[in-house]
Structure 1
Amino acid sequence: MSIQWKFQRSFYNYRSNIEVFMSAISENLIHFLARNDKDSPNRQFNIFKAIIENGLRTSRVQIKFSEGSSVFNQIICFTDIPLRECNEHTSIYGKFGIGFKKSYVKNAGGNPARYFLDYMPGQTGTESIVESRGGLYFNLCEQYKFMNRLDECLRNNPDFALFDHEGNIVVTNEQLKDQIASFIFAFSFDKEMGDLGPARDETSEIDLYYKEREWRLVPSKLAEISGAAILSPDNQFAYYKFHRKDVNMVVVPNEEMRATVLNYFLSLKTSNEPRLQNFGENVLPVINYDDLQKW
């Protein structure tokens, strides 16, 4: 084999690997709208307008732990799946979405979801005695139990604190409450992978991570102080306003909705709010789902 042929083959393999790698990268973090209304584009359009005008709004999400325990928090979800690869995702969440720049989500406090194998280690009846699989989940559950116990102590005793052997306060009541809030914030990025255990291994089943590649925005004190998140008057939700420069594109389910969205953007030219005017003066690309392969 000649040196030239070796180089050409090596370069071809290198280029092929790069192309495969690049195909897995997306410049968008897509927020698909209203999963419950995925078959009702008009309802989704009303939600879309509310998002443009008021900002992204958090929704209640459940994070599951062992023995039926859960943490609930207000969260906004995105997917990192390239548009051309999201057929399975849109079959669940619908075809109406907004593609945000990753920089916007990062700067607002977003992070990828922290996926874990939700398989609880057990006794094996073999020489190894216990399983190693699911070690992260086991430790997360132990952290959850500790947090829950600490919360019970604080609820039952408003003056509860940690003291040293001389009776001096080491950790104040407020610091303990802040620690619980910190636990809940961190748990809010956790997501189970639906691991069915060894029986699933070496099968055609695909881990949930590859189907979702989820990112999350979770409200925090930092987000409130920075102005990235604004609490609703009743403190039930948080809103994240954004500008035209923070968005790459909009994807819609059909041509009729594409025309509706474009007309809506053009109508914003006359808005009294400069932020909204910019959406009308510099209209976003609006992509019919059938054209996703071009992205």
Structure 2
Amino acid sequence: MSALTSICDEMILRLSYCPNYVHEKYSADSAMVCFTDIPLRFAKEHCAKFGKFGIGFKKQKMIEYGANPALYTTGNHLDRIKKLAELLARMEDLEKDREWKQDIEPYLFTEDETVAFQEVTDFLQEYSYKNNDLSDYVTYYQREWRLTFRSLPFAGDTKPHEPGMSCFYSRDGKSHRAFKFSQEDVEYIVVPIRYWWPAKKLAHKMNCKLKIYEISVRT
């Protein structure tokens, strides 16, 4: 409950690095916030893995900020993903010192095209855990959505950190990437029934609905 309260008080989500096994040479070097759009009543298995506390964001608001479903890839397409990763690596290498190299090296792509490639590949996710497509655990069923650091407008320099923007913030001497949201982005919070009283006060403060896990999720 304390973590949920802290997130709601600050209205900040810390971005993390999502494990990605699309290819052994594919570096999951993009920070992101991950969501699911599994209807709450069907989320028993998901909650068993990720917890019974949560924030239900308004999907349309997240889409406006840049959220997108993960792009799931089966094992049959890993060779193609490898080629894409190799091409992107070459493009990123050429982007280094573009200003002084452009007069002596032909550029057949723009900087914006490189950024677009980076942002799209940030949404890659394997269909099944570690590409074991015969596994009982299929990551595709998580119905994952992502907001990635690279695709969010950055509140740097003198820009205020407004909802829908990313920034760096420091805590305990460490720098973290973060995403700012507002009360208007939140539809509900969900908690186990034993936390209903503090959650009721928190929901009132956030001006959102309160949902109780044991009532809202089919068990």
**Residues 32-78 of structure 1: CA deviation (Å, up to 9, x unaligned):** xxxxxxxxxxxxx2322232223223212233342343222111111
Deviation (angstroms), 1:138: 2.3
Moved more, 75-84 or 228-237: 228-237
- Which of the pair has more CA radius of gyration? 1
- 2:116 maps to 182
- 1:214 maps to 144
- Correspondent of 2:181 among 241, 245, 259: 241
Answering whether residue 219 of structure 2 is matched by residue 288 of structure 1, we say no
Seen in structure 2, the aligned counterparts of structure 1 residues 293 and 66 have a Cα distance that, compared at 3 Å, is closer
- Correspondent of 1:70 among 27, 34, 45: 27
- 1:138 maps to 79
Deviation (angstroms), 1:149: 3.1
Deviation (angstroms), 1:233: 4.4
- For 1:114 and 1:217, the matched residues in 2 are separated by 13
Deviation (angstroms), 1:108: 0.9
- For 1:94 and 1:293, the matched residues in 2 are separated by 12
Answering whether residue 189 of structure 2 is matched by residue 250 of structure 1, we say yes
- For 1:67 and 1:98, the matched residues in 2 are separated by 33
Structure (1/2) with the larger helix percentage: 1
Give the residue type in structure 1 aligned to 2:200: L
Give the residue type in structure 2 aligned to 1:183: F
Seen in structure 2, the aligned counterparts of structure 1 residues 254 and 76 have a Cα distance that, compared at 3 Å, is same
- Structure-to-structure mapping, 1:63-102, within 5 angstroms: 63-102=20-59
- Correspondent of 1:261 among 194, 199, 204: 199
Q: RMSD of aligned C-alpha atoms?
A: 3.1
- Structure-to-structure mapping, 1:128-167, within 5 angstroms: 134-135=76-77, 137-152=78-93, 159-161=100-102
TM-score by length of 1: 0.59
Unaligned runs of 5+ in 2: 156-160
Query: What is the DSSP-based 3-state SS (H/G/I as helix, E as strand, rest coil) of the residue aligned with 1:144?
Result: helix
**Residues 71-100 of structure 1: CA deviation (Å, up to 9, x unaligned):** 221111111111111111011101000111
Give the residue type in structure 2 aligned to 1:209: Y
Give the residue type in structure 1 aligned to 2:117: F
Deviation (angstroms), 1:111: 0.8
